[in-house]
Structure 1
C-alpha cells in the first residue's frame, strides 16, 4: 500500500480512501463491492468517489460573480464549456488522522482567478456497524467571505446484475430540467407522471438520468435515502441529512466504453450552476465553517 492509500475496516466492512481527490476508492461488505472502484495508481475515471468542492456539478463557462468581483474558473469539461466539480478533485489530500476504522484527509483551496476564498476542507471516512459514515467540513480561513457548495461522487453497486435490472427508490418530488447539449439548468418539473418518478421503488429499466432532484422526502429523523436492490436480493443505500437539499442522480451512461456500471448518487448542498443562480449557495464568512454527513450501507432482502 502506497502512502496515498488508507485502508480501514470495521466488522464486515472494509474501505480504502485515497489522497487523490480525497476519494473513496473502495467500499466492501463481506467482500461485496458497494461502490464502483478504481485503481491504486493513475487517474480517477468519471470522478468516482471524489469530493466536489467548493462547488458541485457545473458552472456555465466557468464564470460567476461574488462580492462585486468577477471570477473565471478553469473550464475542464470542454465539450460542454463548463467548470465541473470544483477545485480539489485533482488535489493530493493530506493525511490528518487515522485509526483502524476511520481516516481523515484534508486539502486547502487558495484564492485566485477562479475563486475568492481560502478554505480548509476535510473529509472523514468512518466505518461503523451500520456502514460507512462520511463527513465533509469546510472552514473559511481567509480574510474574505467565500461562496461554497459541495457533494460526494460515489457510484453505488447493488449487486452483480446489470443496472437496468436493479429496483431503485429515489425520494424526490421535483427534478431540474437541463439543456441537452450542456446539461445546464432550464427549469424545474415535478416527477409525477414522469419516467423519473422513483418515489416508490421500481425497476430502473433503460431510463437515463443525469439530473438534479429536490423536494426530498425524509423520514421522522429528517434523513433521506436512495436505495437500490439487485434481483439477487443484495442492495445498497446512501442516506443523508438535511444539510443536502439537492441530489444528483446519474445512470453512468457512456457513448463509448463500459456504460451503466453503477448508479451515481450525489447529495448536493446546492444545484448545478448555483454560483450564478444563487440558489442555496452557502456564504462562508471569515472563520465560519460548514459540515455535512452521509452514510453508505449494505442492504439485503
Structure 2
C-alpha cells in the first residue's frame, strides 16, 4: 500500500539530515546527529496537524473561502469545513515533481492550476538544503497565467529541542504585535504585545505581526535548558502563527511556529500579498539553525 505522503526524500550533510515528502513537499523532520529539531511525521501516516506543511498560494485561512479579484467574486473549496473556511492553500495534497537532487539538497515543483476560486496557474518550486548551518528552505513562485494573481506563502514546522519537553522551553518571537482573531479570522488591528512565552504557562493558537529583522533576518527562537533552535526567515516573512496542541503523536504537547508572508485572510484584506504579473517570479527563504 502506498504511503499517504508518497515517496520520502532524505538529504544529508555531515551530521545534519532532513526528509521531505513527495505529497505536499512537506518537511518530515530535521535533525543533527541524534537530536531532532522538528517533530517527525510518523511513517505511513498523513502529517498530523499540518506538521511540516508548505502553504501556498496562500497560508492560513480565507474566510468562507470567498474573496474578490479584479472585480469578480472567487469561491474556493471549503477545505476547513467545520469552520467554513479555505485553509493553507492548494498544494498540500498535490504530488510534487523532484529534480536536481544531490546528497544535501532536493528541489520539488508543483503547479496550482486554475480552478473554482483560483483564476491563474501558479508554479511553486521549493529547495530544501542541509549543511553546517542547519536547514535552509528556498521557495520560488511563478505566475504561469495570462493575468496578475496574488501570492502568499507559509510553512508549518513544529519545533523541538531534542527530547526536551515543550513545557521546559521558552519561545521568543521577532514579532512585536498580536493580530486579534475571532474563529481564526482577523477581528481587529495589530496590538503591541510582549512575545516571549514560557510554554509551561502559555497556550497559543494566535497570529503575530510586525516581525523585526535582526542582522537582516527575522529570527524566532525556541530555547531549552541545554540549547535551542532558531527559525530565521527573510524580512518578507513578516507574520507568524503559533499553535501549541497537546496531542502531537510521540511527543504530547508541541509548538508550531509558522512563518508567513501575509496574515490570515490576506486574500480579502490584501495585506502584504505579493502581486505576480504574468511570467513574474518571487523568491523567499527561511531555515532552522540549532544553537
Same-fold call, TM cutoff 0.5: yes
Higher mean Cα deviation, 46-55 or 157-166? 157-166
CA distance in structure 1 between the partners assigned to 2:184 and 2:219 by the alignment: 24
How many pairs are equivalent? 288
Deviation at 1:128, TM superposition (A): 1.7
Q: Indicate whether 1:270 and 2:262 are aligned.
A: yes
The aligned residue for residue 236 of structure 1 is 229
**1:56-71 to 2 correspondences below 5 Å:** 56-71=59-74
- Residues 62 and 83, structure 1, Cα contact 8 Å, conserved in 2: yes
- Residues 8 and 20, structure 2, Cα contact 8 Å, conserved in 1: yes
Task: State the superposition RMSD in angstroms.
Answer: 2.0
CA distance in structure 2 between the partners assigned to 1:261 and 1:205 by the alignment: 10
Deviation at 1:298, TM superposition (A): 1.4
CA distance in structure 1 between the partners assigned to 2:175 and 2:144 by the alignment: 35
- Note the residue ranges of structure 1 that are not aligned, 5 or more in a row: none
CA distance in structure 2 between the partners assigned to 1:104 and 1:261 by the alignment: 31
Higher mean Cα deviation, 46-55 or 209-218? 209-218
- Residues 178 and 208, structure 2, Cα contact 8 Å, conserved in 1: yes
CA distance in structure 1 between the partners assigned to 2:76 and 2:230 by the alignment: 34
Structure 1 residues 38, 257: CA separation in 2 closer, same or farther (over 3 Å shift)?
Answer: closer
Q: Indicate whether 1:47 and 2:40 are aligned.
A: no
Deviation at 1:247, TM superposition (A): 1.2
Q: Quick one: which of 210, 217, 224 aligns to 1:215?
A: 210
Q: Indicate whether 1:227 and 2:214 are aligned.
A: no
The aligned residue for residue 283 of structure 1 is 275
Deviation at 1:259, TM superposition (A): 8.0
CA distance in structure 2 between the partners assigned to 1:65 and 1:253 by the alignment: 37
- Residues 175 and 239, structure 2, Cα contact 8 Å, conserved in 1: no
Deviation at 1:190, TM superposition (A): 3.1
Q: Quick one: which of 106, 109, 113 aligns to 1:106?
A: 109
- Residues 212 and 247, structure 1, Cα contact 8 Å, conserved in 2: yes
Q: Quick one: which of 2, 19, 22 aligns to 2:25?
A: 22
- Note the residue ranges of structure 2 that are not aligned, 5 or more in a row: none
Q: Secondary structure at the match of 1:61?
A: helix
**1:67-216 to 2 correspondences below 5 Å:** 67-179=70-182, 182-192=183-193, 197-199=194-196, 203-216=198-211
CA distance in structure 2 between the partners assigned to 1:100 and 1:259 by the alignment: 29
- Residues 159 and 234, structure 1, Cα contact 8 Å, conserved in 2: no
Structure 1 residues 33, 44: CA separation in 2 closer, same or farther (over 3 Å shift)?
Answer: same
- Residues 237 and 262, structure 2, Cα contact 8 Å, conserved in 1: yes
